[in-house]
A and B are shown apart, each in its own frame.
Chain A
């Protein structure tokens, strides 16, 4: 016994080797009993001297097995541990009846592997250096079904067992060749759970370059690893992998995605700045550049406006307090904001709408629409008029709306524009039917009457007479037209 123990101690201390098992309880009761027995057997092997047994937790720090497990368990329900412990005492007698080689498979397999330790050690050391996460050995509950322990499964059998959710130790697969066969089998099984399991094993036991190289020719497995890394947030490893594969655009996007996790705007801005140089597609690069510029602007505007609002000097801010900060808002929202609060500013100002329009090459249509909505909301009808008026080179003015006047009317109406204002634009709607529709809907009587007059539609005009107020100017107008 002591020899075993010495071996073991040496083993754990020298190699930091971690067992890798999958545990599973198929027939809960019988298996649980068995696992308890195995736990006992384990305790005997380690001679009840827990402190000597080094375990490695997820964080990679060695921890005393039992104390660690107590901590772990205490966080949840201690009763499970209590129950386990008491059955440990009780069960220790039953352990004696067990054949020796029937003790924990995962451990004995480790011992078998000792001769090859040196070569293995270098590998695992190399891996520890690169900061790969490791899995704690499932010493507390190594898996049971004894009949399986004696047989050596082929990669195929192993995969099949794992698919059924059974326990398998993958440590037996030592040579690169074996591991790859195992991986191929897993891939052929299409079960992502198993593929991921094998990949975790490979990731832990193979050097990066080898792993990457082999995965390059195994696309399915590769996708699984990428997915796994993404889920676990192992950003660095992921980027290394993508870089190795020369998937530069994915590297860029993946890195860009990170910015979503950065709450602090200053840091986010810095991060985005760093993203600009990444190898995006040409089209995307300009978008990323814009994203950075926009945030930069927003930070400046936000700082100014917050100050302005707090000081209470600006009437605009007092009358219409800001509902939310402008940070991280989309471009069009920012434009609306600037049209609302900073409409009259000179182009040189960062917060002026014209500056935004120029910097981000906002199309006319989009600009007019946004500005219109903002000014209409403030009921600044003069601005609306100016926005839609263009001068040609002869100095004539002309009303023009790149979005179509029916849309202008809609927006104005939504902001409760008075009939006089509305009327002016309804009149400019080109399509006669739409114009009549809108005019009737929003009670722009003049427009309706004029349109019918132009259409020379006496019947409709007569009919419309009953819709206008009796004795009003409109009725008068209809009369005069009809009598002509």
Chain B
């Protein structure tokens, strides 16, 4: 996140990524471990410290910085390994929310969902509340808080409590946010399971975006220079940073993938037209102007080349038969077709040993769209999965059941159709090129979470009380008093700003949908998004799976 050069200015000699084994040699006295409080990482550090050359001089000093909090568990672990005493400083760096983009903050704690729903460990909620307090200290107290779900309730309670406990924290900053909306991931388990169909969403689904970087197969990015004849293709994956600072990416990231192609070709025409202009430049002044634009044009061209390559890569996959079949089944489930019997495609996939996560995504999706599966159907899937992928996955299936993703239908009532109809989750006529509704991000399915945000802004949740009661957890509204001087006198036509906090993770498609709502002319609301972690169905399910590899020690 911080650039290397910046650290260099602060006299940091070298920066290493954490890995087991001996520390790389460096002529430094102080070594700082900058880590998340996780036990696996502690083991690596232990290894590092123990292998440190004892005879060397000057001796190195070790320091450890935990992000975002010191963890007692980790320190005890270090102590048990006999290295705790080696650290001169043990500190915490309270980094709660990390800005990812102009409108996106993330805590990057991938285990948050698992901790909250599987282990009932609410520490990440505590951090979320802390992060929100920091945000309020910087951007003013948020006058209205809405929320849905147990975790949301907890976070709101904690915020109110923290405020009460530090009465001095009343600040005099004019509030930037009008509303805070806290949403539990388990209110909307459906959305992350479906395949995202926005450009950014697909990049994430297929290649995985990590901390705004994506690694891509290098073949398509070989430098096309004459004379080289493609001799030395780069073998390292191509690493690209993706954020809205890149003009082209900002434009296409949230579009449905089917609309990306036309934008790219349009851009290509504009750029080549711009390059053509040099022939028309007659006067010195014109040439000068052209030259001054060159760097910008060069950048635009390379950005266009990159995204054309990425789009080609994705296109290869989205046009494949399997992708299409998978999507068809997903869409059938989401529109409520045949959710109560064993699905042929899922059976086929199991028989062909498709990746287990893909199977689990589909089965969970079916379960969620049917408010739980019939016992017989559930047992059938379970048996097939265990027989094909190994009995030890019984632990993972158990986790999914605990998280509510996979469950037997109880009470024999399927609420999903009601929810779908009331919240208009399924739209049959989707306009992918020029969308008029958020459902374009999944080519038909409108993310439930975002629908809730949309309905909250207009006409308000009172209109959907019945459905809210069907979704898990309480819904609530809190107000934080502002000093009269700070109350906003709203200009006519000025947009309200809502901060939406997804507890347990958010997908790129949901972000795209919220950005779409912000841009709607008559929307009247702008959205800023915060979350515990950026997720997609795969990373999400993975975080819930039992680690089956025995620990390396």
**B62 to chain A: closest CB distance in Å?**
6
Is B49 on the interface with A (CB-CB < 8 A)?
A: yes
- Give the nearest-CB partner of A80 in chain B: B88
Contact between B91 and A284 (Cβ–Cβ < 8 Å)?
A: no
Of listed B62, B384, B392, residue having the most chain A CB within 10 A: B392
Contact between A22 and B61 (Cβ–Cβ < 8 Å)?
A: no
Contact between B391 and A287 (Cβ–Cβ < 8 Å)?
A: yes
Beyond A72-B86, A73-B85, 4 extra complex contacts between A and B, CB < 8 Å: A77-B60, A190-B123, A291-B391, A330-B387
* Chain B 368-384 interface mask (CB, 8 Å, partner A; 1/0): 00000000000100111
Of listed B50, B87, B387, residue having the most chain A CB within 10 A: B387
Name 26 A/B residue pairs within 8 A (Cβ), A-sorted. Answer: A28-B91, A75-B83, A76-B52, A77-B59, A77-B60, A78-B54, A79-B58, A80-B59, A165-B92, A190-B122, A193-B73, A219-B120, A228-B73, A231-B39, A256-B395, A257-B546, A259-B392, A260-B392, A260-B550, A294-B391, A330-B387, A332-B388, A360-B387, A365-B347, A366-B388, A403-B351
Spot the interface stretch: B74-82, B233-241, B475-483. B74-82
The A211-253 residues at the B interface (CB cut-off 8 A) are: 219-220, 223-224, 226-228, 231-232, 253
Is A442 on the interface with B (CB-CB < 8 A)?
A: no
Contact between A366 and B387 (Cβ–Cβ < 8 Å)?
A: yes
Complex-state Cα separation, A69 to B390, whole angstroms: 47
Is A196 on the interface with B (CB-CB < 8 A)?
A: yes
Chain B residues near A165: list those with CB within 8 A. Answer: 69-70, 92
Of listed A58, A140, A188, residue having the most chain B CB within 10 A: A58
**A323 to chain B: closest CB distance in Å?**
16
Chain B residues in the interface with A (C-beta under 8 A): 39, 49-50, 52, 54, 58-62, 69-73, 76-77, 79-80, 82-92, 115, 119-123, 125-126, 129, 154, 158, 161, 165, 347-348, 351, 353, 379, 382-384, 386-392, 394-395, 398, 546, 548, 550-551
Chain A residues near B391: list those with CB within 8 A. Answer: 287-288, 290-291, 294, 330-331
Chain A residues near B92: list those with CB within 8 A. Answer: 165
Chain B residues near A190: list those with CB within 8 A. Answer: 122-123, 125-126, 129, 154, 158
* Chain A 10-41 interface mask (CB, 8 Å, partner B; 1/0): 00000000000011110010000000000000
* Chain A 362-385 interface mask (CB, 8 Å, partner B; 1/0): 100110010000000000000000
Query: Looking at the complex, which one of A58, A188, A193, A196 makes contact with B80 (CB distance below 8 Å)?
Result: A58
- Known contacts A79-B61, A257-B546: does B84 contact A72 (CB below 8 Å)? yes
Is A283 on the interface with B (CB-CB < 8 A)?
A: yes
* Chain A 64-82 interface mask (CB, 8 Å, partner B; 1/0): 0000010111111111101
Contact between A220 and B122 (Cβ–Cβ < 8 Å)?
A: yes
Complex-state Cα separation, A165 to B382, whole angstroms: 45
The A182-201 residues at the B interface (CB cut-off 8 A) are: 188-193, 196-197, 200
Contact between A331 and B387 (Cβ–Cβ < 8 Å)?
A: yes
Contact between B73 and A231 (Cβ–Cβ < 8 Å)?
A: yes
Is A263 on the interface with B (CB-CB < 8 A)?
A: yes
Query: Looking at the complex, which one of A189, A197, A227, A330 makes contact with B389 (CB distance below 8 Å)?
Result: A330
Is A261 on the interface with B (CB-CB < 8 A)?
A: yes
Complex-state Cα separation, A253 to B49, whole angstroms: 36
Chain A residues near B119: list those with CB within 8 A. Answer: 223, 226-227
Chain B residues near A260: list those with CB within 8 A. Answer: 392, 548, 550
Complex-state Cα separation, A279 to B379, whole angstroms: 18
Is A135 on the interface with B (CB-CB < 8 A)?
A: yes
Query: Looking at the complex, which one of A191, A192, A223, A332 makes contact with B387 (CB distance below 8 Å)?
Result: A332
Query: Looking at the complex, which one of B69, B158, B353, B546 makes contact with A193 (CB distance below 8 Å)?
Result: B69
Contact between A76 and B62 (Cβ–Cβ < 8 Å)?
A: yes
Complex-state Cα separation, A455 to B89, whole angstroms: 83
Count of A-B residue pairs with CB < 8 Å: 160
Contact between A72 and B82 (Cβ–Cβ < 8 Å)?
A: yes
The A45-85 residues at the B interface (CB cut-off 8 A) are: 58, 69, 71-80, 82
Complex-state Cα separation, A223 to B121, whole angstroms: 7
Chain B residues near A231: list those with CB within 8 A. Answer: 39, 73
Chain B interface, DSSP helix/strand/loop, else mixed: helix
Query: Looking at the complex, which one of A69, A135, A219, A283 makes contact with B379 (CB distance below 8 Å)?
Result: A283
Contact between A160 and B165 (Cβ–Cβ < 8 Å)?
A: yes
Query: Looking at the complex, which one of B83, B91, B386 makes contact with A76 (CB distance below 8 Å)?
Result: B83
Q: How large is the interface on A (under 10, 10 to 19, 20 to 34, 35 or more residues)?
A: 35 or more
Complex-state Cα separation, A460 to B71, whole angstroms: 73
- Give the nearest-CB partner of A74 in chain B: B54
Chain A residues near B73: list those with CB within 8 A. Answer: 193, 196, 228, 231-232
**A327 to chain B: closest CB distance in Å?**
12
Contact between A75 and B39 (Cβ–Cβ < 8 Å)?
A: no
Contact between B59 and A79 (Cβ–Cβ < 8 Å)?
A: yes
- Known contacts A253-B398, A360-B387: does B72 contact A189 (CB below 8 Å)? no
Of listed B71, B76, B347, B550, residue having the most chain A CB within 10 A: B76
Is A136 on the interface with B (CB-CB < 8 A)?
A: yes
Chain A residues near B122: list those with CB within 8 A. Answer: 190, 192, 220
Contact between A287 and B126 (Cβ–Cβ < 8 Å)?
A: no
Contact between B126 and A253 (Cβ–Cβ < 8 Å)?
A: no
Chain A residues near B387: list those with CB within 8 A. Answer: 330-332, 360, 362, 366
Contact between B120 and A193 (Cβ–Cβ < 8 Å)?
A: no
- Give the nearest-CB partner of B56 in chain A: A77
Query: Looking at the complex, which one of A69, A191, A288, A369 makes contact with B85 (CB distance below 8 Å)?
Result: A69
Complex-state Cα separation, A261 to B395, whole angstroms: 14
- Known contacts A192-B126, A260-B550, A360-B387: does B392 contact A75 (CB below 8 Å)? no
- Give the nearest-CB partner of A253 in chain B: B398
Complex-state Cα separation, A77 to B30, whole angstroms: 11
Contact between B89 and A28 (Cβ–Cβ < 8 Å)?
A: yes
Of listed A22, A261, A284, residue having the most chain B CB within 10 A: A284
Complex-state Cα separation, A224 to B154, whole angstroms: 16
Chain A residues near B49: list those with CB within 8 A. Answer: 75-76
**A421 to chain B: closest CB distance in Å?**
21
Of listed A82, A160, A226, A287, residue having the most chain B CB within 10 A: A287
Complex-state Cα separation, A189 to B122, whole angstroms: 10
**B79 to chain A: closest CB distance in Å?**
6
Complex-state Cα separation, A108 to B132, whole angstroms: 40
The A294-341 residues at the B interface (CB cut-off 8 A) are: 294, 328-332
Contact between A76 and B86 (Cβ–Cβ < 8 Å)?
A: yes
Complex-state Cα separation, A165 to B126, whole angstroms: 14
Complex-state Cα separation, A224 to B394, whole angstroms: 23
Chain A residues near B550: list those with CB within 8 A. Answer: 260-261, 263
Chain A residues near B379: list those with CB within 8 A. Answer: 283
Complex-state Cα separation, A24 to B347, whole angstroms: 55
